[in-house]
Every structure is written in C-alpha cells, then in structure tokens.
Amino acid sequence: MSVNHRSRLPFYCLFLSLLLVVGTAHASTDQPFGYRTVATGLEIPWEIEFGPDSLLWVSERPGILSRIDVETGVKQVLLDIRSSVFTKQEAGMLGFCIYPNFADTPWVYVAYTTGTVDSIEKVVDRFTFKDDTLIDPVRIFTLAPAGDFHQGCRLYIDDERKLWITGGDNPGSNLAVDDTWLAGKLLRLNLDGSIPDDNPVPGLPFWSKGHRNIQGFVQLPNGNIWTSEHGNVIEDEINLIVKGGNYGWPFVEGPCDLPDEIEYCDSANVIQPKWSTGDITFAPCGLRYYNHDKFPRLKHSLLQVFLKKAKLMQFTLNEAGDSIVSSHSYLSNSIGRIRDIAISADGRIFLCTSNREPNGYLPFPLDSDDRIVELEEYTDDCEMAIVIPSDTVRISAVPGFMRYFSIPITNTGECPRTLVSNYSKVDSNLAYLRGTNWRMPLVLVPGQTYHTQAEFDPAENKEYYQGIVMIFDDTSYHTIHVVGNTQAGMIASADTSITVFLPNNSPVNLPIVFKSVGELPCTIQSMSLQTATPDGFTTDSDPTGTVVPSDSVTVMMRIAFDEPGTYSCRVNLATDSYMSPSVHVIAVRSQPESVAEYTAIHKLTAFPNPFSGTTAVHIPELLLYGTVTITNQLGMVLWTGSASHTSFDVNSMNISGSATATGPLYLTVRKGTEIGTCMLLVLR
C-alpha cells in the first residue's frame, strides 16, 4: 500500500515574520472534496441507505427510522419504537436493510437493542411497509444476553436471499472464536431466521469468527465480502472474508506480528487483515464499494468512514477485488465523527455524522448536528483563501484547571484547504498555553467555519502570552496571539448532567444553575441550547449581563414531550471570553402503565425561607395523609413518609449526603389516583 507523507516546515520558520496569503492565488489540491449539508437536527443516525423510492432511509439510535428527500431535506418518520428500544452507551436502534424485491415483498429488517439494563437483548425484526409506515414486526433473530457496547449490527441481504448480521464481541469477548457462542461472529441466516444448510459449520449461524466489533460490511459484484472492525485501542482492521475463517480476536490484534500471536496464528490458521491502523485506532464504521463514473478518482474502491479519525478513506482495489493497492484520506475532521456512507443509483455519495453520542469530542456537537451531507468535488485549479477573524484571542481559566478554547477559521475560497498542525512558539509559557494537534489535519471546506482547539492550563495567578502558529498544506502559515487571564470571572455549571423523569405528559420546569467563579465579574452574552428536538426543550430565559464572583445564574427550561422516549439537550452560557461547559439534560418520558398514570398532577408549591434556612411545602386537603416521596435527579429515593399536616418543613427530614448533590430535588405526594408534585430548591 502506498502511504502519502506530508513534509513539515523547518522549525526555524516559526520565528520568521509571518504572513498569510489570502485570496487570489490558484493552486492544485489533493483534497478535492467538500460537502453540502442535506439535513440537520438528527439524533445519532446509525445507518443510511437509499430505498426503492430514491429517498435516503435513516435509522437513529433512540429508535426512529425515517426517509429523507436529499434535495429538500424533508424528513418523514416511518417507524418510531423509542418506547421499546434500550439506549445506553452504544445500544439503541442500529442497522437496517431493505428487501431487494421490495415492490413485490415490502420488507425492511431492523436491528436494535431492547430490554432493561439488567437484561439487554439485541434483536432483528422484520417489518412490512404499508401506507408510508413500517408495521407488523416479526422477530427474526435474538441475541440474549447482549451488552450495551460492541454491537456490530450492519444488516445485508445478498442475491441468494441470505441475511448477514455483523457482530460484536460483547458479552464474552474471550469466546469470539468459540463455536458455541454467537458474539464475535459474522452471522448468515435465512430470511426467516433459520440457519442455511451451507454454512461452514452445520447447524450454526456464523460464517466467520474471531471478530471484535464489525461495523462495516460490503459485498462486491463478484461476490467478495469485505468488513471493517474496531480494534482494542490499536489495530482496527479491514478484512476480506473467507468462509469459515478465523480472524483471531481476542488472541490476535491486527497482523500476526508478535511471538504469542504468531504461535496462535499458525495453530489456528488465522486470516490476517488486508489493512490495519497499527498502534492507533481510527474506529471504522460504514463501508461501501464505489464504481461509478461520477467520481472517476474513486472508481473500484472501498470507501470507509471513521469515528475517531473523523474522515473518509478510499482504498483502491486490485482488478480481482481481493487486495488493497493504495489509500487516500478526505474530509479529515471536517464534519466530526462519521458513522455511515450511502451511494445513490447515480453515484452521489452521502455521509452521516455521529456527534451527539456520549463519546464525542470538541468542538462538536454543532448546533446543526447530527446531520447528513453530500460529497462535492472541486476543480484542481480552484482559488484558495482563509480568514481568521481575530489576530488576538483571550481566554480565562482558574489555576490548576485546564480549559480548551477554540480559534475560528473560515474558508472563503473555492477549494478545500488543509490545516496541517498548530504549534506553540517556544517560550516560558509553553507548558501552560498551547495549540493542540489532537484533531489534525483539519480539512477546511469552502464556505464553512471551523474551530481549531487550543489549551490553557495555568499554574498560578498571572497573565500569560503565547503565539500559536497555524501551518497549512500549501506551506503558508499564520500566528494567533493568545492572552490567558487567571483573574477574570468565569461561568461554570453546577451540574454536568441532569436527568428528569416525566411520568406523564405534563410539562416540567427545570432550573439549571450556573455559578460565577474566579476573582472578577464576567459578562454573560448569550445562551446556547443544542438539541435535536427543539419543540420539547424550550426556555424563555435571557441570562445576559454581568455576574459577580460567587453569584449564580438560573436558567429555567420547560420540558414537554407527548411521546414516550429518552430526549436530550445541552445548555451552555457564552461569556465575553469563552463558552461554559455544557449541562447535559436528559428527559425520560415513560410509557404509561395504567389509566391512573393519566391522572392530572396537582402542582404543589415550595416556599424557601432564606432567613431561617428552611423550605416549607403546602399540602392540599385532598392529598392529606398521602405518601410523600423525595427523590433526586437520578430518581433515587431520599426520604419517604406521610403527609400528615397541611404544611411541613422539608429541612427537618434529614436529607443529606452526596445523593442530594445532583441538582434540585423532587417531592411527590400520592393518595389513591391523586398525585401532587413540586421541585425543591432546598437550602442546604
């Protein structure tokens, strides 16, 4: 395989007078692709595939399957099973596939996790498409127990009408090569879930074994099957699949190149990967074969997308389609984590991001995330330009507390540019104020603004100065002057995560508290609310103005969802120097279990007394002698008793300990089918 190494500037160049050339020059670029945004506001899309209607079908991890018009971005929900889908870590709705002869047999196979945290199952259901809806599920496959990570779960129906299911090794990673265990296998079933007679081992559903977490699967026109799978911190793999093959996990990572691995490989006839990442992980996901005339440079190639390396890679194949002869990378870090790729009948290429999952990274998620984009090609002689809005960036942090901050860059030219690296000038502040290369290189697409990351890690109270040098692929470079202040005021969230349980369809008003830290006042300029379901999370707060040290700011959020499910959003406050850390709000709307759950909830009132340090709650007569329960944000019961008086002091209930530190408390009084509730801002 050929590897393209890019040379760096001599180190002494960093100390020369720096000039950024903008605008009029034309240059050849080896980053020919940009993108246009097709749809925004998705919640962790997992699989994208063009349907027989020429629309892009999309599964989202909370439990929604939709189709999107790629010309207008209009989304139509076909299936909503959020009340049945278990979502935690990497669990949720996963892959799907459409029956090839859809016009006569309108079947769609959908994989997802269900159950509870103590009893997770991974299932594949077959749905029937009727009147723009997926109905009548039939259970085809069940893996129980299943875990909340390493799901695999790409689905594919081949020309022989066999259903392929890619697997992960959870639970039972050590059994990935054990024929009696389903985890760690590439499965092949009949369309009704039965086992084909021609599988490698009679009576068993797997085609190959020894896999860790297959999230990419493609079959070439000549029948060759390629997969990609996640390694354990190192050695992600791209494999050519052989019937009955053993791919080595957990005894082998990547190629057989260590003494213990070589011994096992020889004894177990392990098949080595055609490509691996070596001593790093890229986290490969969606994998497709491209052989269209629309993008000639991509013909007869595997197209692989990555999460951690956040890019699209092209692996050009030999004529037989059984070996990789070269590779090239595109769109590095341009749109964040990329989960899947889809190719239309006319050769257009679409990607979906996965920036709203818990293991994302700065500066994502953006307000538009998650989204679907279409690949666009640029000419080799397009005009290059870059605009960095300010030559000076100011940042604040408390000594001993490292803060990431961003430097915005806009590409105003006609072709992509690549930011190769950030370097800090060598001076006494090097250890405290620096650029970071942890998401480099960064491909800057025309018309887009990016936020490259830097770090401020002050050791003591003083002002810091640093020059951060940005180096581009055309050998131009630019210096940003950074001023770090340890005495300015800052805003920090009181809670990093808040979970709210909605027992019925009544709205909840949630106060979110931010504190002013530091030694000086700070000015709040705006609030940012990032969510894929904006109609459910709303706020009328306008928390602008100056806040003095030790003071707090409360943002009131109204949460209302009609349908059961799990919803989330992130809330930030922007000050005059930086964006506060996010507060992750999770709203869980449960499925009503009885008619009583629909009973109107009486809103109780809590009366905090700042002079006596007490909080009293008024109990109406219809709830007297009912059961009182006080819970924290996580649903943990902190106190229970009887509502024997029309008013009582919450602070006398001896509620203390770390369980109360997760945010406001909730008081509920139940008497028969009558329920009263209120939120407590207990003075403690």
Q: Which residue has the higher pLDDT, 59 or 555?
A: 59
At residue 283, the pLDDT reads: 95
Q: What is the DSSP letter of 271?
A: P
Residue 436 has pLDDT above 90, yes or no: no
At residue 667, the pLDDT reads: 78
At residue 30, the pLDDT reads: 63
At residue 653, the pLDDT reads: 58
At residue 16, the pLDDT reads: 31
Tell me the pLDDT band of 17, cut-offs 50, 70 and 90. Answer: very low
381-485: CATH topology is Immunoglobulin-like (2.60.40)
Residue 372 has pLDDT above 90, yes or no: yes
Question: What distance lies between CA 394 and its chain's CA centroid?
Answer: 29
d(CA 355, CA 60) in angstroms, rounded, equals 12
Query: Hey, where are the domains in the chain?
Result: 33-377, 381-485, 488-598, 599-684
At residue 11, the pLDDT reads: 32
Q: Read off the pLDDT of residues 231-244 as tens digits, 9 standing for 90 and up.
A: 998 999 999 999 99
Q: Which residue has the higher pLDDT, 596 or 526?
A: 526
Bridge partners of residue 394, in order along the sequence: 483
Average pLDDT over residues 160-166: 97
What's the mean per-residue pLDDT of the chain? 84
At residue 15, the pLDDT reads: 32
d(CA 218, CA 213) in angstroms, rounded, equals 15
127-151 as b/e, with b when 16 or more CB fall inside 10 Å? bebeeeebeeeeebbebeebbbebb
At residue 684, the pLDDT reads: 36
Look at 14-18, 406-410, 568-572 and tell me which has the smallest mean pLDDT: 14-18
Query: Could you tell me the CA-to-CA distances from 88 to 113, 170, 285, 476, 582 in Å, in that order?
Result: 9, 14, 19, 45, 20
Residue 427: which of 368, 460, 456, 468 has the closest Cα?
468
What percentage of the chain exceeds 90 in pLDDT? Answer: 47
404-442 as b/e, with b when 16 or more CB fall inside 10 Å? bbbbebbbbbbbbbbbbbbbbbeeebeebbbbbeebbbb
At residue 563, the pLDDT reads: 78
**Strands across the sheet with 627-631, in order?**
601-603, 674-680, 665-671, 627-631, 637-642
d(CA 415, CA 327) in angstroms, rounded, equals 21
One of 1.10.10.410, 1.10.10.10, 3.20.20.70, 2.60.40.10 is the CATH number of 599-684, namely 2.60.40.10
CATH class entry, domain 488-598: mainly beta
At residue 682, the pLDDT reads: 45
Q: Which residue has the higher pLDDT, 607 or 104?
A: 104
Look at 246-260, 347-361, 413-427, 493-507 and tell me which has the smallest mean pLDDT: 493-507
C-beta of residue 458 within 8 angstroms of C-beta of residue 464:
yes
CATH number at 33-377: 2.120.10.30
Q: DSSP string covering 527-563, please?
A: EEEEES-TTTEEE-----EEE-TT-EEEEEEEE--SS
Residue 78 has pLDDT above 60, yes or no: yes
Catalogue the E-assigned strands of 29-100: 33-39, 45-50, 56-60, 64-68, 75-80, 93-98
At residue 539, the pLDDT reads: 83
Residue 177: which of 201, 198, 194, 158 has the closest Cα?
201
Tell me the pLDDT band of 336, cut-offs 50, 70 and 90. Answer: very high
Query: Could you tell me the CA-to-CA distances from 160 to 198, 247, 493 in Å, in that order?
Result: 12, 24, 56
Catalytic residue numbers read 150
d(CA 367, CA 183) in angstroms, rounded, equals 37
pTM above 0.85? no
d(CA 495, CA 515) in angstroms, rounded, equals 10
Tell me the pLDDT band of 2, cut-offs 50, 70 and 90. Answer: very low
Q: Which residue has the higher pLDDT, 452 or 194?
A: 194
Phi-psi region of 18 (alpha: psi -120 to 50; beta: other; left: phi over 0): beta
d(CA 469, CA 435) in angstroms, rounded, equals 8
Q: What is the DSSP letter of 103?
A: T
Q: What is the DSSP letter of 358?
A: T
Residue 457 has pLDDT above 80, yes or no: yes
Tell me the pLDDT band of 7, cut-offs 50, 70 and 90. Answer: very low
At residue 1, the pLDDT reads: 35
Average pLDDT over residues 573-589: 75
**Same CATH fold, 488-598 and 381-485?**
yes
